[in-house]
Structures are given as structure tokens and as C-alpha cells.
């Protein structure tokens, strides 16, 4: 049986193509992400960012091409934390029950302790026993991020994680991502234009109509990538 590892992993997309009927979401995409890199993925709406993250998380199978993970030993699976547009939480369960459910499914030792510590770090401890359906969008988003961090993932895929967050929560998110980046975890995050989150990135890539049109690791081009999207 495969074992999940929290060790940072690299990602390699080889000739990825994803079609939904006649529509191409990704076209001949080649990209290699080294372990520990923090990549900001940008592009207009419908450019294929979300599809790329879903392909990376293996939730969506590419029509053509393959995704491989680097830095894994035989029989190991990457521990992937994924925050998507949808919060991926059960409305009919409480915040604590949601975290406990996923912690138990992941086989985390002392799930109660882990859930409690994440509830505290997301400032949701006082609402631990409230049903998620009573939460605001921002609170749900914080809990969704806590869910993604449950297994201390080696690869973190964040799809516009700042959605619905107020200034204070955005600061918390930026600090959390900074800590994870500094710990050497691999992070791929979708962003719209330049933001506090995009500034944490060590590499920026831009998608357009499913194709990788720009990819840089710093310098003037780095800022240009975000500027082009905003224009």
C-alpha cells in the first residue's frame, strides 16, 4: 500500500492536454516545478489555471500527457493540500467535525489535537462546534485552508485562496503561505494580478487559452507577468 509523504515534492507536466468536449482547457503544456518552489500562476478567467491545478492534484485525468512527481521514494504518494474555488466542506457538520473527518480519513495520529490546533491558528476555535452552514464565506475559506493543511502537505495547490477573505484573514493567509514556503514546501497558487500572495512567489507563470505563455524566476519579467494580466 502506498504511503503519503509530507516531504516537498516536485511536479512535472509533460505535454498536458485537457479537452472538455471540443473545448481545450489545456494545450501541450510542459512545465517542471522543483521541490520547494513557490509558483504564482496567473492568467485571465478561463485560461486553464484551475484545470491545471486539478490535473496536478490528480482529481482530473488529462486527455493527453502525464503528470509526474519528483522526490518520492518507491511506493510513496505525495501529500497534497488543495484549496479550490468550492470550499470542500460539509455544511451539515460543524467546523471541528469537518476537520476530524478528514484527519481520520488521512490516518493522522491524534486527530483531535491536530484539528484543535488548526482551529486555533485559523481563529475559529470559538466556532468549533458551529455548523459550517452558519459560517460566512471568509470563515469557510479559512476552514478550507485548515483542511488543506491537515496532513502538513509537501505540495500545496491553492486556487485563488484569498477569495472572500477580509484584510485580517488575508494577512493570516499570506503569513501562513510565507511560513510554508520558508519550510521548503512546494506551493502552486493561482492569483489574479499582483497581490501580497503573488509577492511571496519565487516563480511566476502565465497561462493564456490553456497554453503556458510566460514563465520566469524573478527580474523585470516577473512583475510584467502580473501587469499583463491586469492590463
Partner 1 sequence: MRLFSNTAVLLQKELQAEFRSHELLTTASVFILIVIVLFSVTFDPTRTESQQFGPGLLWLAFLFSASLMLQPCFLKERNNDTLSALRLVVNDPFAIFLAKLCANTIFLLTTELLLLLVFGVFYNVAVLSVFPQLALVFFWGSLGISTTGTALSAISSQARMREVLLPLLLMPLLVPVLIPSAEATKALFDTEHALRWDWLGILIAFDVVFLTALWLFGEYLLEE
Binding marks (x or -) toward partner 1, 146..165, rule CB under 8 A? -x---x--------------
Work out how close the CB of 155 gets to partner 1 at its nearest, in angstroms, rounded to a whole number. 11
Query: Which residue's CB is nearer to partner 1, number 146 or number 229?
Result: 146
Helices (H), the chain: 49-56, 95-106, 111-121, 137-149, 167-182, 220-230
Query: Which residue's CB is nearer to partner 1, number 13 or number 135?
Result: 135
Binding marks (x or -) toward partner 1, 20..59, rule CB under 8 A? ----------------------------------x--x-x
Query: Which residue's CB is nearer to partner 1, number 22 or number 220?
Result: 22
| 22-26 long-range contacts, CB within 8 A, separation 24+ | 24/209, 24/210, 25/51, 25/210, 26/51, 26/52, 26/55, 26/62, 26/210, 26/211
Give ∠ CA 96-150-116 in degrees, rounded to 5. 40
Query: Which residue's CB is nearer to partner 1, number 84 or number 169?
Result: 84
Output the nine-digit C-alpha cell for 31: 512545465
Work out how close the CB of 86 gets to partner 1 at its nearest, in angstroms, rounded to a whole number. 4
Work out how close the CB of 112 gets to partner 1 at its nearest, in angstroms, rounded to a whole number. 14
**Subset of residues 76 to 115 that bind partner 1, contact rule: CB under 8 A:** 80, 82, 84-93, 97, 101-102, 104-107
Buried b / exposed e over 8-40, threshold 16 CB at 10 Å, is: bbbbebeebbbeeeeebbbbebebebbbbbbbb
Smallest CA-to-CA distance from 141 within 122, 125, 126 is with: 122
CB 97 within 8 Å of CB 130: no
Query: Which residue's CB is nearer to partner 1, number 144 or number 225?
Result: 144
Query: Which residue's CB is nearer to partner 1, number 35 or number 81?
Result: 81
Total residues contacting partner 1 by CB under 8 A comes to: 28
Please tell me whether residue 185 binds partner 1 under the rule CB under 8 A: no
CB 162 within 8 Å of CB 17: no
**Subset of residues 52 to 71 that bind partner 1, contact rule: CB under 8 A:** 54, 57, 59-61
Cα separation, 57 vs 189, whole angstroms: 13
Query: Which residue's CB is nearer to partner 1, number 85 or number 217?
Result: 85
CB 79 within 8 Å of CB 154: yes
Q: Site residues (CB under 8 A) for partner 1?
A: 1-2, 54, 57, 59-61, 80, 82, 84-93, 97, 101-102, 104-107, 147, 151
Amino acid at each position: 500500500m502506498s504511503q503519503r509523504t509530507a516531504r516537498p515534492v516536485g511536479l512535472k507536466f509533460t505535454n498536458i492536454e485537457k479537452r472538455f468536449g471540443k473545448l481545450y482547457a489545456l494545450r501541450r503544456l510542459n512545465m517542471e516545478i522543483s521541490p520547494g518552489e513557490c509558483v504564482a500562476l496567473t492568467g485571465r478567467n478561463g485560461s486553464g489555471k484551475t484545470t491545471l491545478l486539478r490535473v496536478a492534484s490528480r482529481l482530473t485525468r488529462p486527455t493527453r500527457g502525464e503528470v509526474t512527481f519528483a522526490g518520492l521514494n518507491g511506493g510513496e504518494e505525495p501529500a497534497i493540500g488543495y484549496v479550490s474555488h468550492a470550499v470542500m466542506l460539509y455544511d451539515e457538520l460543524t467546523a471541528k467535525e469537518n476537520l476530524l473527518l478528514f484527519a481520520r480519513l488521512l490516518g493522522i495520529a491524534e486527530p483531535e489535537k491536530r484539528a484543535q490546533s488548526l482551529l486555533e491558528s485559523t481563529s475559529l476555535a470559538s466556532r468549533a462546534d458551529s455548523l459550517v452552514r452558519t459560517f460566512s464565506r471568509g470563515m469557510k475559506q479559512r476552514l478550507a485552508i485548515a483542511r488543506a493543511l491537515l496532513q502538513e502537505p509537501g505540495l500545496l495547490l491553492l486556487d485563488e485562496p484569498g477569495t472572500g477573505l477580509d484584510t485580517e484573514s488575508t494577512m493570516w493567509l499570506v503569513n501562513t503561505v510565507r511560513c510554508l514556503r520558508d519550510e521548503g514546501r512546494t506551493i502552486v497558487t493561482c492569483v489574479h494580478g499582483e497581490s501580497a500572495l503573488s509577492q511571496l512567489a519565487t516563480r511566476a507563470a502565465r497561462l493564456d487559452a490553456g497554453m503556458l505563455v510566460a514563465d520566469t524566476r524573478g527580474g523585470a519579467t516577473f512583475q510584467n507577468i502580473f501587469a499583463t494580466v491586469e492590463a
